[in-house]
Amino acid sequence: MAGFGQEGDFYSGGNYGDQQSYGYNMDGQAISGFGQEPQFGQFDYTQTTTTTTYIASQNPYVGSIMTPEPSAYSSGPSDNFEDEPPLMEELGINFDHITQKTMAVLNPLLDADHNIMQDTDLAGPLVFCVAFGGALMLTGKLHFGYIYGIGVVGCLAMYGLLNMMSMTGISSGCTISVLGYCLLPMVILSSVSIILSLKGIVGTVLTVLAVFWCSLSASKLFVSALAMTDQQLLVAYPCALVYGVFALLTVF
């Protein structure tokens, strides 16, 4: 019977990592183990540590709700709010580009940056459309529906025309952005109409100047965005038609 020696004593092996016991029969031969005589009281710390590590690595409860993984307590990059972009940048509102586009419209002789014109910013056009409608409302004309309707038709017409004229093509957002920014002179004209009638000679001259200003600025921005150096007059003509309709809303 394993585990009993000649004197009836039980000898257990010192290698606890292998979980083995040793015993002797009546002839003094080992009947379990690897044939080597165990030494009582010795403990193999290296193998014990290795066995414990192996058992821990095979623990099926690691990563569960009772024993979560260590990575669950580590803070990721999303927890660092200092590295997040500003709110205006996430919304696509760049005040630097808005300022540069507005100055390019106010000064038609100023060269516009090609990269800025590719920015499909719609915050400025929305503000100028609301300002144009608000100035007309102060003169007793509630034309917000006409402004948005004419604006949509004009943007679609210019979008199709510019895509046929240019080699690279233009996006719908860029078309809306340019036409909306170039509505700024018409906003100034509608503000003047609050204190001055535009049905006289002075008003007619101011209206023609406003339409010319809008069409010149819009054609310059379109030419800069599409690299159409010798076609500005061809682009300015349909722009003048679009802004001429807004001028009729302002005068009449």
What would the pLDDT profile of 199-221 be if each residue is shown by its tens digit? 899 999 999 999 999 999 999 88
Integer CA distances (angstroms), 77 to 32, 68, 88, 171, in order? 57, 20, 21, 35
The yes-or-no verdict on residue 231 having pLDDT over 90 is: no
Predicted confidence (pLDDT) per residue in 151-201, tens digit: 999 999 999 999 998 888 888 988 999 999 999 999 999 999 999 999 899
* Banded model confidence at residue 82, pLDDT cuts 50, 70, 90: low
Structural domains counted in the chain: 2
Q: In this structure, how many other beta carbons lie within 10 angstroms of the beta carbon of residue 118? A: 15
Per-residue pLDDT tens for 3-26? 444 444 444 444 444 444 445 555
Give the mean pLDDT of the chain.
Answer: 75
Which one has a higher pLDDT value, 205 or 225? 205
Q: Is the pLDDT of residue 57 over 70?
A: no
126 lies in the same domain as 226? yes
**pLDDT the model gives residue 41:** 46
Q: Are residues 219 and 245 in the same domain?
A: yes
Q: Is the pLDDT assigned to residue 35 strictly greater than 90?
A: no
Q: Which of 84, 104, 135 is the last residue of a domain?
A: 84
Tell me, yes or no, whether 23 and 117 share the same domain: no
Task: Tell me, yes or no, whether 78 and 98 share the same domain.
Answer: no
Same domain assignment for residues 68 and 99: no
pTM, entire model: 0.64
User: Do 205 and 142 share a domain, yes or no?
Assistant: yes
Q: Are residues 115 and 11 in the same domain?
A: no
> Do 48 and 98 belong together in one domain?
no
pLDDT value of residue 89: 62
**Cα 130 to the center of its chain, rounded Å:** 26
* Final residue belonging to a domain, choices 29, 62, 84: 84
Query: Residue 215's pLDDT is what?
Result: 95
Last residue of a domain, one of 51, 84, 117: 84
State whether 110 and 225 are in the same domain.
yes
Write out pLDDT tens, residues 86-123.
666 666 677 777 888 888 888 888 776 666 666 778 88
Indicate whether 134 and 186 sit together in one domain.
yes
Kindly tell me if the per-residue pLDDT of 81 is higher than 90: no
Domain shared by 42 and 159, yes or no:
no
Domain boundaries, position 174 = 89-251
The token duo for 188 is 């100034």
In this predicted structure, what is the pLDDT of residue 111?
74
DSSP string of 91-128, one letter each residue: TT--HHHHHHHHHHHH-TTSPPPHHHHT----HHHHHH
Say if residue 94 is in the same domain as residue 174. yes
